[in-house]
Structure 1
Amino acid sequence: MTSLLGLSTYAYFWRMSDRVPDPMSLDDAMRDAAAHDGVDLFQICDHLPLDTASDDRLAAIRALADELGLALEVGTRGTAPEHLARYLHVAQALGATLVRSMWTSGDDQPDALETERRLRRALPAYEAAGVTLALETYEVVATEDLVAVVRAVGSDHLGICLDPANTVARLEHPADVVTAAAPYTRNWHVKDSGFTRSPGWVGFQYTGVRTGTGLLDYDAVRAAIDPDARGINRVIEFWLPWQDETLGSTGDPAQTTTRIEAAWTEHTIEYIRSKES
Structure 2
Amino acid sequence: MSIGTGTYAYFWRMSERVASPWSLQDALRDTADHGLDLFQICDHQPLSEADDGRLSEIAALATDLGITLELGTRGLAEDHLLRYLRIAERLGARLIRSMWTAGDDRPGAVEAERRLRAVLPAFTDAGVTLALETYEQVSTVDLVGLIERIDSPQLGICLDPGNTVANFEQPDEVTRRCAPYVKNWHVKDFDFTRSPGWVGFSYTGVPIGTGRLDYDGIRAAIEPDRRGINQIIEFWLPWQDSPHATVDTEARWTADTIAYLRSKQA
Task: Determine if the TM-score, normalized by the shorter chain, exceeds 0.5.
Answer: yes
3-state SS in 2 of match to 1:200? helix
Aligned partners of 1:81, 1:227: CA distance in 2, in Å?
A: 30
Amino acid at match of 1:262: A
Structure 1 counterpart of 2:235: 238
Q: TM-score, normalised by structure 1?
A: 0.95
Residue-by-residue CA offset, 1:28-87 (whole Å, 9 max, x unaligned): 1100111002x1100000000111110111111010000000000000000001000000
Deviation at 1:255, TM superposition (A): 0.1
Structure 1 residue aligned with 2:61: 64
Aligned with 2:5 (options 4, 7, 12)? 7
Partner of 1:82: 79
Gaps of at least 5 residues in structure 2 are: none
Paired with 1:70 and 1:100, the residues of 2 have a C-alpha distance of 18
Identity %: 63
1:275 Cα shift? 1.3
From 152, 155, 178, the equivalent of 1:181 is: 178
Which aligned pairs between 1:93-242 and structure 2 lie closer than 5 A?
93-242=90-239
TM-score, normalization by structure 2: 0.99
Give the counterpart letter for 1:148 in structure 2: G
In the alignment, the residues of structure 1 paired with residue 178 and residue 31 of structure 2 have an alpha-carbon distance, to the nearest angstrom, of 28
Q: What number of residue pairs does the alignment pair up?
A: 266
- Cα deviation code 1:107-162 (max 9, x no counterpart): 10111111001000010000000000000001111000000001111100000000
Structure 1 stretches of 4+ moved >6 Å: none
**1:17 and 2:24 matched:** no
1:261: which partner in 2? Answer: 250
Counterpart Cα distance in 1 of 2:2 and 2:261: 12
Distance in 1 between the 2:167 and 2:252 partners? 30
Give the Å deviation of 1:94. 0.3
Deviation at 1:231, TM superposition (A): 0.7
Unaligned runs of 5+ in 1: 245-252
Q: Distance in 1 between matches of 2:79 and 2:119?
A: 8
1:139-188, CA deviations, whole angstroms, 9 ceiling, x for partnerless residues? 11100000000111110000000000000111100000000000000000
* Partner secondary structure for residue 187 of structure 1: strand
